[in-house]
């Protein structure tokens, strides 16, 4: 029986590509138009796994997704860093001079803004999802309309790529995580962990935690603070660490658990950075 994987967006999106990279083509997709709906599908067991974007090299951290993972006690079991490529696609037989409007997600339009300055005749229209627009163009046979979407969308919906690599900043990468509701079995082959903790307001409390990580041979790859809503001016810290020996991670975990007011493991998994 195929795994049911919930993705934010539609078939042909970058979330879909990550799902295929991890689990191949023998998967059943559950398309979700928001991350809240994605999480709900995990909680009501209508999906086995979820793919969630967590940060982008241009846009930064997707803060609400950290909160969704934490508040709903999801477990991160894997990650992928995907280079984002924006392609202009439309029904076959058209050139860019035939395109009157381009529909896409606001972030995709923003990242390709410089390209379209050369084509003032094209109107840019914000839409809900890159791949969903590509699907609509194909299904409704929309002439003169193009989508900005991943290459996978052109393949699935039989569209022609008019222009490649539209993005202004070519080194544009997004980190995606794979989440599930069940806590996975301990795997000592993992080499990365996502942790959350709260600290008191004493001077040097964060520095002390970071020193523990350093002493236990862990490399801090990410730190993100989020306000604790119920307590003004108090913050939770979300950190990612990599390590070579699982015993070093276990040692650090035991010490931080004692030092922090609240400590939680969001997931242990294999580092997705190549």
- How many helices (H) and strands (E) the chain has is answered by 9, 15
Count of positions (residues) in the chain: 274
| Position 25 confidence tier, pLDDT thresholds 50, 70, 90 | confident
The pLDDT of residue 2 is 84
Task: Check: CB of residue 75 under 8 Å from CB of residue 267.
Answer: yes
The pLDDT of residue 203 is 86
Mean pLDDT of the residues in the chain: 94
Rounded-to-integer distance, Cα 150 and Cα 164, Å: 10
Q: Is 245 left (phi over 0), alpha (psi -120 to 50) or beta?
A: beta
The values of phi and psi at residue 248, to 5°, are -65, -40
The pLDDT of residue 102 is 98
Tens digit of each residue's pLDDT (9 = 90 or more) over 87-144? 999 999 999 999 999 999 898 998 899 999 999 999 999 998 899 999 999 999 999 9
The pLDDT of residue 235 is 87
Give the Å distances, CA to CA, from 215 to 78, 94, 218, 220, 255: 26, 60, 8, 12, 11
| Position 233 confidence tier, pLDDT thresholds 50, 70, 90 | confident
First to last CA, the chain: 31
The pLDDT of residue 52 is 97
The pLDDT of residue 45 is 96
DSSP strands (E only) in the chain = 3-8, 27-32, 49-56, 60-61, 75-83, 87-90, 101-104, 123-126, 145-149, 160-163, 173-180, 192-198, 219-227, 235-242, 262-269
Burial of 137 (0-12, 13-18, 19+ CB in 10 A): buried
**Is the pLDDT assigned to residue 1 strictly greater than 80?**
no
Contacts of 258 (CB under 8 A, 6+ apart): none
């Amino acid at each position: 029986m195929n795994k049911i994987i919930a993705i934010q967006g539609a078939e042909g999106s970058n979330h879909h590509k990550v799902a295929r990279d991890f689990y191949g083509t023998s998967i059943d997709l559950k398309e979700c138009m928001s991350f809240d709906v994605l999480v709900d599908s995990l909680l009501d067991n209508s999906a086995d796994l979820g793919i969630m974007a967590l940060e982008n090299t241009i846009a930064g951290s997707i803060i609400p997704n950290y909160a969704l993972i934490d508040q709903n006690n999801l477990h991160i079991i894997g990650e992928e860093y995907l280079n984002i490529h924006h392609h202009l696609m439309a029904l076959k037989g058209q050139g860019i001079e035939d395109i009157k409007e381009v529909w896409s997600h606001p972030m995709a339009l923003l990242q390709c803004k410089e390209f379209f300055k050369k084509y003032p005749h094209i109107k840019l229209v914000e839409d809900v999802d890159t791949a969903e627009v590509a699907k609509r163009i194909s299904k409704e046979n929309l002439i003169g309309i193009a989508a900005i979407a991943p290459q996978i969308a052109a393949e699935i919906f039989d569209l022609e790529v008019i222009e490649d690599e539209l993005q202004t900043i070519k080194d544009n990468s997004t980190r995606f995580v794979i989440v599930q509701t069940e806590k996975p079995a301990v795997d000592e082959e993992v080499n990365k962990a996502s942790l959350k903790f709260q600290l008191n307001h004493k001077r040097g409390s964060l520095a002390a935690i970071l020193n523990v990580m350093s002493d236990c041979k862990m490399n801090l790859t990410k730190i993100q603070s989020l306000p604790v809503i119920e307590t003004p001016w108090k913050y939770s810290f979300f950190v990612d660490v990599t390590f070579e020996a699982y015993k070093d991670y276990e040692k650090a975990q035991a010490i931080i658990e004692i030092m922090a007011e609240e400590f939680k493991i969001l997931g242990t998994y294999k580092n997705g950075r190549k």
